[in-house]
Amino acid sequence: MSPTLRLPRADGTLSEYRLTGQAAPPPPRGPIRSRVGFAALHVVADPLAPINPTLETRLDWDATLAYRRYVWSLGLAVAEAMDTSQRGMGFDWGPAQELIRRSVAEARALPGAVLASGAGTDQLEPGPRVTLADVEAAYEEQCGFIESVGGRIILMASRALAACARNADDYLKVYGRILAQVREPVIIHWLGDMFDPALAGYWGSRDLDAATETLLAIVGEHARKIDGVKISLLDQQREIAMRRRFPRGVRMYSGDDFDYPTTIRGDAQGASDALLGIFDVIAPAASAALHALDAGDVATFDRILAPTLPLSRHVFGAPTRFYKTGVVFAAYLNGHQAHFRMVGGLESARSVVHLAEQFVLLDRAGLLRDPALAAQRMRAVLAVAGVG
C-alpha cells in the first residue's frame, strides 16, 4: 500500500495525502542526439562542517560529484557553477574554482560526459568605483581559469557590469573584448531580474526589446565565438523570436522553466536546445523525453514532460530566485544527499507549505525514486515545522 501522510495546506489545515506510487519511465542509456540537454546542477553542502553557514562555504564533495555522475549516466550534459549552484547566493568564486576543477576531472574520466562551467565577475563587488576595465579583468580571470583546467565556458551575466554600465555600448565593449580572447565558442547567459534583481536593465536598457537588440548585435558580430545563448526570462515568445534571428550555427539554449517542452520540441522554423535548472529536479524524465525525441516520438516526449510542468512552475514560482531550495529538496527526498541543508542556510527560503505542495507534484510526476524513503524524509521535514 502506498504511504500516507498529513500535509499542511495554504489555508492552514492539514490534509491526508496518499502517494500515487507512479514511477517515471526508465530512461534509455546512451547519448542524446536530437538536442543538447544541459542540467544546471546544485551543490551539496557539508552539514557537519564547523563553520558559520551564513558566512562560509563547505561542500560535501562526494555527494556533489556523485550527483554529477548520476546526471551524466542519463545522457544529459552538466552546466556547472551557475545560478542553480547558488552563485551569488552563498557560493562565490573561491569555492567555485574547486568545484569546476573537480568536475572537469570527473568529466574527463567518463566517456561522452559533456560539461560547461560558469564564468562571471562575482569576485568583484559592485560599487561606485568599479570600472568597465575592472569588469573585463574579472571576466578574464574566470574565463582564463576555466580554460586552464580544460573546461568550456558559459559567460554569465555580471552584477558589476549591470551596476557600472552607462548604456548598451558598454555591454558591446565588454562582451566584445572577452569574446575576442576566448579559445573556444562560449554560451552567453542572459539571466533575468526575476532570478537576480541586481541584473535589472541588463544589456543597457530596462526595455526588453531594446535589450534584445543589443544582445542580438553581440551575437551577430561574434557568432564564430558563440556556441549558443541561454535565455532565462521565462518568456517563451521572446525566446522563439530571438532563436529565429540567430546566425546559422548559434544555438538557443532554453532557460524557460515555465514552458520548456514547447521550446525544445520546436516548430517548422527550428527548436531550442536546453540549459535548465529544472533538469536537475526532473533529470530522469528529461532524459527519457529527449531519447523519445531522438526516436521521433513526439507524443511520448509530450506525455513524459507534461506532468513535470506544474512541478517546475511551482519550484520556480515567485520569488523565483529561491528556486534553488526546491532543487535541493528534491535531491534530498530522492536520496541523492543525506540531509536538507544548503549553502547559506537557504533551506529556509521556502515555507513548509510550499515544500509540501512540491512533494505532491513530484509524486504526481512520477519523480520520487523510492516513495517510502521520500515519505519518511518528508515527515522529518514536517516534524521540524511541528507537524506530527
pLDDT digits (tens, 9 = 90+) for 161-198: 999 999 999 999 999 999 999 999 999 999 999 999 99
For the cut 80, the answer to whether the pLDDT of residue 308 exceeds it is yes
- Sign of the CA dihedral with 145 first, then 148, 152, and 153 last: positive
Does the pLDDT of residue 27 top 80, yes or no? no
pLDDT digits (tens, 9 = 90+) for 80-128: 999 999 999 999 999 999 999 999 999 999 999 999 999 999 999 999 9
* Banded pLDDT at 353 (limits 50, 70, 90): very high
CA angle 231, 236, 242 (to 5 degrees): 55
Residue 1 above 80 pLDDT?
Answer: no
Which ranges of 251-307 does DSSP label H, i.e. alpha helix? 260-265, 278-281, 283-294, 298-305
What proportions of the chain, in percent to the nearest 5, are helix, strand and coil? 50, 15, 40
**Cis ω on the peptide bond leading into residue 319 (within 30° of 0)?**
yes
- pLDDT cut 90: percent of the chain above it: 96
Tell me whether residue 193 is exposed, middle or buried, using C-beta atoms within 10 angstroms of its C-beta: 0 to 12, 13 to 18, 19 or more: middle
Please provide the average confidence, as pLDDT, over all residues in the chain.
Answer: 96
Mean pLDDT throughout 225-245? 97
Number of helical H runs and strand E runs in the chain = 15, 10
pLDDT at 297: 97
- 3-state SS string for 87-112: ECCCECHHHHHHHHHHHHHHHHCCCC
**pLDDT value at 24 more than 90:** no
Q: Which amino acid is at 330?
A: A
Residue length of the chain: 388
The average pLDDT across 359-372 equals 96
Q: Is 21 a residue whose pLDDT tops 90?
A: no
Strands 4-8 and 14-18: what pairing?
antiparallel
**pLDDT higher at 71 or 25:** 71
pLDDT tier for residue 22 given thresholds of 50, 70 and 90: confident
C-alpha separations of 341 from 82, 84, 337 in Å: 19, 15, 9
- Comparing CA positions, the residue from 109, 131, 182 lying closest to residue 152 is 182
Q: Is the pLDDT of residue 23 over 90?
A: no
User: What is the pLDDT, as a whole number, of residue 257?
Assistant: 96
